[in-house]
Amino acid sequence: MPTATIVRTGVANTASVVAALARLGCACTLSDHPAEVADAELLVLPGVGSFGAGMGSLAAAGLVDALRDRIERGRATLAICLGLQLLCAASEESPGVEGLSVLDTRVERFGAGVTVPQFGWNRVESEGGLVEPGFAYYANSYRLNEAPAGWRTAWSDHGGRFVAAIERDAVLACQFHPELSGQWGRAMLRRWLARCGVREGRAAC
């Protein structure tokens, strides 16, 4: 049975992630140990709350280098919601706080004229890859506006187009919550596991 290591950030409710992966045949462990994060078979970087608190937790645990290294090497990693934003260099939410800087871009707040935070279902548009067109569940006030170079990008719209998800090699980072996105989200997680080398038939429906 494959094992997914979920980063213990202190700013994430991991129960729904654990349940979603368990339905697909993955055992889950929680860790904030740099060596375990670096060497994990499958890694999940979840998150809710603020950019500053999330980065503070990662830095305090000594996880910054381990996370940056495995993502830059394309090792099996799933980042969810705030987890995607933490890959960026900075966020408008927390001025002066440096992110993981895997992506040379800045996270910005949704503009005027739309409901903030965005709660609920929104359409995802893509041109193939791990993220197929469909509807995903969101809970966010901040977003990426530009596609990072070298990454396949899916999009949603909330007062203007924003990044729904990015993927490269075995790294998938989603602004939405796949674990809360029903059958569509489950199918996407199954494709990610297959990309990471989890054999067909080891996951249950």
- In the annotation, is 26 catalytic? no
Among candidate residues 88, 167, 179, 196, the one labeled active-site is 179
Measured distance CA(74)–CA(84) in Å, rounded: 15
- In the annotation, is 98 catalytic? no
Among candidate residues 88, 93, 158, 177, the one labeled active-site is 177
Which domain covers residue 146, as residue numbers? 3-195
Please report the pLDDT score of residue 84 as a whole number: 98
Tokens 């055992």, located at residue = 27
Got the DSSP string for 135-161?
A: EEEEEESEE--SPPTTSEEEEEESSSE
Please report the pLDDT score of residue 12 as a whole number: 72
Give the CATH number of the domain where residue 150 resides: 3.40.50.880
Q: Is residue 63 part of a domain?
A: yes
Domain count within the chain? 1
Q: Is residue 175 part of a domain?
A: yes
Q: Is residue 202 part of a domain?
A: no
pLDDT tens digit string along 28-42?
A: 999 999 999 999 999
- In the annotation, is 33 catalytic? no
Q: Is residue 201 part of a domain?
A: no
Q: Is residue 203 part of a domain?
A: no
Among candidate residues 81, 88, 174, 196, the one labeled active-site is 81
Cβ burial 109-119 (10 Å sphere, 16+ → b, else e): ebeeeeeeebe
Q: Is residue 81 part of a domain?
A: yes
Q: Which of the residues in the chain have pLDDT under 50?
A: 201-205
Q: Is residue 45 part of a domain?
A: yes
Q: Is residue 25 part of a domain?
A: yes
